[in-house]
Structure 1
Amino acid sequence: MTDQLLKSISFIFHPLLMPLLGVIFYFSKTPRFIPDPVLKAKLFSVTILTVILPMLLYYLLKTLKKVDSVYLETTNERKLPLLLNALIICLVLVRVLPQNEIPELYFFFIGVLISTITCFALAIVKFKASIHMIASAGFFMFAVALAIHFKININGTIALMCVVLGAIATSRLHLKAHTPIELVIGFFVGLMPQLILLNYWI
């Protein structure tokens, strides 16, 4: 029972979903008026590029025997998916969320790109930072930054996200997917780019 619950946590809070959750969170909290057609188009585009396309690429890589599982358990398995994901994030930045339209989301995805490239560099040197922690920590920092930027109270959301971060870390440790240091490094790889980039949009 415990194994199934912890596996479910890793699946539900999969790293692929975090950029989309960041976009949804932004649109749900921003006080700015965004026309409904624009909002729907952005959400649709981000969903296709950051969730659907990576899933299709994963199945292609699995067919070509470049990866063994969706969790990318070895550093060698990680390299090509991370590189492809970095290219997808660049496409999002150029075509979907350019800086002059929604700067908050633009810099959020810049942070995601920096974290992805850092994770790729770590994989090259055979260090397996937790992608789950990278993605969730990046989303967490962005949500906190939005609360400060828009002067809104999201204390309940922050508390919930702290619980989720703890649950993800527990899940990855219990499943022996990562060591504690890989989780800690992953947390900071996700959080620090978002923190540093606050200077450009807050």
Structure 2
Amino acid sequence: MKVFIKLASYLFHPIWMPFIGALIFFEITPRFFPDPVVKAKLLAISILTVFIPIVFYFLLKNLNLVDNMMLKTAQERRLPMLFFCLVILTVINFILPEREYIALFYFFSGILYTSMMGLLLVIFKFKVSLHMMGISGVAVFLACLSITYGINLSYLIAFTLFAIGWTASSRIQQKAHSNIELIVGTLIGGLPQFILLIGKNIIL
């Protein structure tokens, strides 16, 4: 059972969440996008949000600035989070033009605001849960897509809600976070997605 709970920390690591959100969007959107375009966008997003951050992590590890991928201290999280903010800015400005990919544009904009708030908190030595930021953002995004397109995503949304609880349990079991750090991570992960999509009348 302990192994099962611990598994969530790896399956729902925040580094996967932007790509997963984009992948689900292209799978369920009723809008037509040519397959070569979809593959190109997903490849670009995976390179920028997964592979490049992993390379950056190994660079920091070789410089003894981080211990492992879980970034156990607030101090260790500062440079990776600043770098991730720059990566998301790159995706927004060069990969996902607003007019063509409006829902994804605001999904990544929400990720940017979430990351900036998380960075601000770790600067003040509050170790907010990055795992909860990531999975809660995807959960709210899926709920908004379900409303937007009138598609029944109940099972998928239910799974992400289960994943939120599973991930929170995993982080508690590993004594990685306090309850308040998990709650704050969930809020700043989900609220920007909801506010941006509502504010831009995407789901109304």
Shorter-chain TM-score bucket reads over 0.9
Q: Distance in 2 between matches of 1:157 and 1:5?
A: 20
Q: Distance in 1 between matches of 2:88 and 2:149?
A: 25
User: Is the contact between residue 17 and residue 138 of structure 2 (CA under 8 Å) also seen in structure 1?
Assistant: yes
Aligned residue pair count? 201
Q: Distance in 2 between matches of 1:178 and 1:163?
A: 19
Residue 11 of structure 2 corresponds to residue 36 of structure 1? no
Q: Distance in 2 between matches of 1:29 and 1:126?
A: 39
Q: Distance in 1 between matches of 2:5 and 2:151?
A: 32
Q: Distance in 2 between matches of 1:61 and 1:98?
A: 31
User: Which AA in structure 1 matches 2:62?
Assistant: T
Cα displacement string for residues 167-186 of structure 1 (whole angstroms, at most 9, x for unaligned residues): 00000001100011100000
User: Which AA in structure 2 matches 1:51?
Assistant: V
Q: Distance in 2 between matches of 1:47 and 1:132?
A: 18
Q: Distance in 1 between matches of 2:122 and 2:42?
A: 30
Q: Distance in 2 between matches of 1:118 and 1:90?
A: 15
1:66 aligns to what SS in structure 2? coil
Per the TM alignment, residue 84 of structure 1 is displaced from its structure 2 partner at its CA by: 0.2
| Aligned twin of 1:74 | 73
| Aligned twin of 2:82 | 83
User: Which AA in structure 2 matches 1:77?
Assistant: E
TM-score, structure 1 normalization: 0.97
Cα displacement string for residues 24-61 of structure 1 (whole angstroms, at most 9, x for unaligned residues): 11001100110111000001000000000000000000
| Aligned twin of 2:176 | 177
Q: Distance in 2 between matches of 1:6 and 1:58?
A: 25
Percentage of matched positions with identical amino acids? 42
Which 4+ runs in 1 deviate beyond 6 A? none
| Aligned twin of 2:193 | 194
Q: CA RMSD for the aligned pairs?
A: 0.8
In structure 2, the gaps of 5 or more residues are none
Per the TM alignment, residue 156 of structure 1 is displaced from its structure 2 partner at its CA by: 1.1
Per the TM alignment, residue 7 of structure 1 is displaced from its structure 2 partner at its CA by: 2.3
| Aligned twin of 2:136 | 137
Of residues 7-16 and 173-182 in structure 1, the stretch that sits farther from structure 2 once superposed is: 7-16
Cα displacement string for residues 44-100 of structure 1 (whole angstroms, at most 9, x for unaligned residues): 000000000000000000001111110111110000000000000000011111212
| Aligned twin of 1:48 | 47
Per the TM alignment, residue 159 of structure 1 is displaced from its structure 2 partner at its CA by: 1.3
Per the TM alignment, residue 154 of structure 1 is displaced from its structure 2 partner at its CA by: 0.9
Cα displacement string for residues 121-175 of structure 1 (whole angstroms, at most 9, x for unaligned residues): 0001110110000000000000000000001111111111111111000000011
2:89 aligns to what SS in structure 1? helix
User: Is the contact between residue 97 and residue 105 of structure 2 (CA under 8 Å) also seen in structure 1?
Assistant: yes
In structure 1, the gaps of 5 or more residues are none
Q: Distance in 2 between matches of 1:35 and 1:115?
A: 30
Q: Distance in 2 between matches of 1:74 and 1:3?
A: 23
User: Which AA in structure 2 matches 1:196?
Assistant: I
| Aligned twin of 2:17 | 18
